[in-house]
């Protein structure tokens, strides 16, 4: 039996597919700049996010220079250091990862993978990008305003975020809040598009349970973002009012520079609740698209169907739902009612169950697979390893008693960089190697890619693994310099210097990747339409790169799930989703 009927509607007769009314560009401007085509918008999102991400990368070098060699670099002072960590964190989490996964990969892959011609409302989709660009420009402008960007830490906790003495108190914090509000408005326009496209614009035969896991990950993350960003929006508006109008939503009465401030009666804890009601789902907004994409990378390059597809889908949904009731595990030391900790520790540990299911399923997909160690697969394997590492330290930090001594140490830095820094970036890089041929029609250079992978993967481990040890020693995070604290041995300082050297090396090795991207665009080997011999719809487009409207005259019809790899009896080791069952049987008959 060649055709595995995956669900009850396995055989769907080809049906008339309505032609969707598309906006056709009439000039160079509307084709490449103010384009309404999701694929162009995706590239615009990805380039903008990467550009601002490079700024954040440079900021991390400056931080590492200071931490590794304190006192050596006179051009970094304490205020600047605080500004660097703030901007590094905010850019990486929101303006790079969120925008790249949802705006970049979401825009490119959703319409292609579900078999649509475009997003449902291309004009709104275009506006989404331009508002996002405006948000990025407002954010970048804070480097040039008097006082510089805010140095409140990426969590922007009041009261210190808006008190004098915090760098960027005059313009930085105002522009940061404005930029976040803009980002959320822009994201909402895009996010509504992604959700409605997945729900209402799938092609004939594409049931929800036949969606590639990439789409499930991006879809669930977008739904979460639409429900979590409102909390950040409200927190940003209120903090902005506190700063600009002198309201006291978050500001208690306190003494500032020796005088009683004008504020009184507000609750700093309220901000933390609002922030983390956004902030924790945000972790999974970044992680779920990575989960989805990595499932597809592993399945494609191991030539095996994903293990436990249904379980994978439900795990994604369960993680998404649970992530809304764990937020206060970021606040064990905040002074909130201590018994809340029991509830939030419990939910936090429960979320480890669906996450562990996913990890097991990835490993079981690899088990006895026909593993091709191509660059995307290497990055996918790198993701599993870094993610498991970061996930396990998350269990430490999710427990109140373990978290309290580890709070605000380098252990936390190591944890979240492993789990939502390095791990998703591994997936981003793997995904770029995987889909670059579809976007450009050319392969990325393999040798450069392997070099890039090994330096990045080993380097990232060498950077963040020792940080756990530093954190256990008690080395605090966010400190400009450590001074001569008795509990910090000299070896910790040499370890810091080591980490800095590795960090700079890994950072510069990314230039190899950028070179590869640019060089392969012109000189790369032509890829053909389906270089990885993958099943999902985006590889079955009539043209590569896909033309305007994605499909030719007719939309594809889907007959099977996305993971028909190495089906026994089939002629090839993959069966595209749009291949009719009858055709497979004929092929089988001919072969035997």
Please provide the size of the chain in residues.
Answer: 592
Q: Contact between 8 and other proteins (CB under 8 A)?
A: yes
> Is residue 463 within 8 Å of 506, Cβ to Cβ?
yes
Measured from the CB of residue 338, what is the shortest distance to other proteins in angstroms? Answer: 17
Residue span 246-275 as binding mask against other proteins, x where in contact by CB under 8 A, dash where not: xxxx------------x-xxxx--x---x-
Residue 458: strand, helix, or coil? helix
Q: Contact between 123 and other proteins (CB under 8 A)?
A: yes
Give the DSSP letter string of 167-190: TTTTTHHHHHHHHHHHHHHHHHHH
Residue 440: strand, helix, or coil? helix
Q: Contact between 335 and other proteins (CB under 8 A)?
A: no
- Select the residue interacting with other proteins from 34, 61, 121, 465 (CB under 8 A): 121
Q: Contact between 568 and other proteins (CB under 8 A)?
A: no
> For residue 313, which of 4, 6, 1 has the smallest C-alpha distance?
6
Neighbours of 456 (CB within 10 A): 23
Q: Which helix (H) or strand (E) holds 309?
A: helix 309-322
Measured from the CB of residue 408, what is the shortest distance to other proteins in angstroms? Answer: 25
- Select the residue interacting with other proteins from 136, 163, 192, 239 (CB under 8 A): 192
Residue span 213-252 as binding mask against other proteins, x where in contact by CB under 8 A, dash where not: -------------xx-xxx-xxx-xx--x---xxxxx---
Q: Contact between 120 and other proteins (CB under 8 A)?
A: yes
Residue 324: strand, helix, or coil? helix
Q: Contact between 400 and other proteins (CB under 8 A)?
A: no
Measured from the CB of residue 226, what is the shortest distance to other proteins in angstroms? Answer: 4
Measured from the CB of residue 120, what is the shortest distance to other proteins in angstroms? Answer: 4
C-alpha separations of 455 from 134, 512, 515 in Å: 34, 10, 15
> Is residue 4 within 8 Å of 70, Cβ to Cβ?
no
Measured from the CB of residue 17, what is the shortest distance to other proteins in angstroms? Answer: 8
**Cα 3 from Cα 509, distance rounded (Å):** 46
Smaller CB separation from other proteins, 118 or 564:
118
- Select the residue interacting with other proteins from 201, 315, 443, 570 (CB under 8 A): 201
Measured from the CB of residue 21, what is the shortest distance to other proteins in angstroms? Answer: 5
Calculate helix-pair angle for 352-366, 268-301, nearest 10 degrees.
20
Q: Contact between 9 and other proteins (CB under 8 A)?
A: yes
Residues 531-560 close enough to bind other proteins by CB under 8 A:
558
Q: Contact between 15 and other proteins (CB under 8 A)?
A: yes
Cβ contacts of residue 515 below 8 Å, gap of 6+?
448
Q: Contact between 209 and other proteins (CB under 8 A)?
A: yes
**Cα 324 from Cα 348, distance rounded (Å):** 10
Q: Contact between 182 and other proteins (CB under 8 A)?
A: no
Cβ contacts of residue 370 below 8 Å, gap of 6+?
302, 303, 304, 566, 573
Give the DSSP letter string of 238-306: HHHHHHHT---SS----EETTEE-S--S--HHHHHHHHHHHHHHHHHHHHHHHHHHHHHHHHHHTTSPP
Q: Contact between 281 and other proteins (CB under 8 A)?
A: no
Smaller CB separation from other proteins, 78 or 196:
196
Q: Contact between 204 and other proteins (CB under 8 A)?
A: yes
Measured from the CB of residue 375, what is the shortest distance to other proteins in angstroms? Answer: 34
Measured from the CB of residue 189, what is the shortest distance to other proteins in angstroms? Answer: 9
Smaller CB separation from other proteins, 222 or 584:
222
Q: Return residues touching other proteins (CB under 8 A).
A: 7-9, 12-13, 15, 18, 20-21, 23, 120-123, 188, 191-193, 195-196, 199-210, 226-227, 229-231, 233-235, 237-238, 241, 245-249, 262, 264-267, 270, 274, 277, 558
């Amino acid at each position: 039996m060649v055709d595995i009927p995956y669900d009850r509607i396995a055989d769907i007769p080809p049906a008339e597919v309505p032609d969707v009314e598309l906006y056709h560009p009439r000039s160079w401007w509307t084709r490449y700049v103010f384009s309404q085509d999701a694929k162009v918008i995706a590239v615009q999102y990805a380039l903008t996010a990467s550009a601002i991400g490079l700024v954040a990368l440079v900021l991390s070098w400056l931080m590492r220079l200071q931490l590794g060699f304190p006192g050596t670099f006179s051009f970094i002072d304490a205020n600047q250091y605080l500004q660097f960590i703030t901007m590094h964190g905010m850019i990486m989490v929101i303006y790079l990862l969120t925008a790249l996964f949802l705006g970049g990969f979401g825009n490119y892959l959703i319409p292609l993978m579900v078999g649509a011609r475009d997003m449902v409302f291309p004009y709104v989709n275009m506006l989404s990008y331009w508002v996002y660009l405006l948000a990025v420009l407002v954010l970048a402008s804070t480097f040039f305003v008097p006082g510089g960007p805010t140095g409140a830490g990426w969590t922007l906790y009041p009261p210190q975020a808006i008190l004098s003495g915090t760098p960027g108190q005059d313009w930085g914090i105002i522009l940061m809040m404005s930029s976040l509000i803009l980002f959320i408005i822009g994201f909402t326009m895009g996010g509504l598009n992604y959700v409605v496209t997945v729900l209402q614009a799938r092609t004939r035969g594409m049931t929800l349970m036949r969606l590639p896991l990439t789409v499930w990950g991006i879809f669930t993350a977008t739904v979460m973002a639409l429900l979590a960003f409102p909390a950040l929006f409200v927190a940003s508006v209120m903090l902005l009012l506190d700063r600009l109008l002198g309201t006291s939503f978050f500001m208690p009465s306190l003494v500032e520079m020796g005088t009683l401030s004008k504020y009184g009666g507000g609750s700093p804890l309220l901000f933390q609740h609002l922030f983390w009601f956004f902030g924790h789902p945000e972790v999974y907004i970044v992680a779920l698209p990575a989960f989805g994409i990595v499932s597809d990378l592993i399945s494609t390059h191991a030539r095996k169907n994903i293990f436990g597809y249904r379980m994978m889908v439900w795990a994604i949904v369960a993680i998404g739902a649970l992530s809304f009731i764990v937020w206060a595990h970021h606040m064990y030391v905040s002074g909130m009612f201590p018994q809340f900790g029991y509830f939030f520790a419990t939910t936090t540990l429960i979320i480890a169950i669906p996450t562990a299911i996913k990890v097991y399923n990835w490993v079981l997909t690899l088990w006895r697979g026909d593993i091709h160690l191509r660059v995307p697969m290497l990055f996918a394997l790198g993701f599993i390893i870094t993610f498991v590492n970061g996930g396990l330290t998350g269990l430490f930090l999710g427990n109140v008693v373990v978290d309290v001594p580890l709070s605000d140490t380098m252990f936390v830095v190591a944890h979240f960089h492993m789990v939502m820094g390095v791990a998703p970036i591994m997936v981003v890089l793997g995904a770029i190697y995987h889909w670059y041929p579809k976007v450009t029609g050319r392969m990325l250079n393999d040798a450069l890619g392997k070099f890039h992978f090994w330096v990045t993967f080993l380097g990232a481990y060498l950077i963040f693994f020792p940080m756990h040890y530093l954190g256990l020693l008690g080395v605090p995070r966010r400190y400009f310099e450590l001074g001569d604290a008795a509990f910090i041995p000299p070896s910790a300082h040499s370890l810091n210097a080591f980490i800095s050297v590795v960090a700079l090396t890994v950072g510069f090795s990314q230039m190899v990747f950028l070179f590869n991207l640019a060089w392969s665009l012109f000189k790369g080997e032509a890829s053909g339409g389906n270089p990885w011999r993958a099943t999902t719809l985006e590889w079955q487009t009539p043209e590569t790169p896909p033309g305007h409207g994605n499909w030719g005259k007719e939309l594809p019809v889907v007959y099977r799930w996305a993971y028909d790899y190495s089906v026994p009896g089939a002629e090839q080791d993959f069966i595209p989703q749009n291949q009719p069952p009858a055709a497979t049987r004929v092929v089988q008959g001919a072969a035997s």
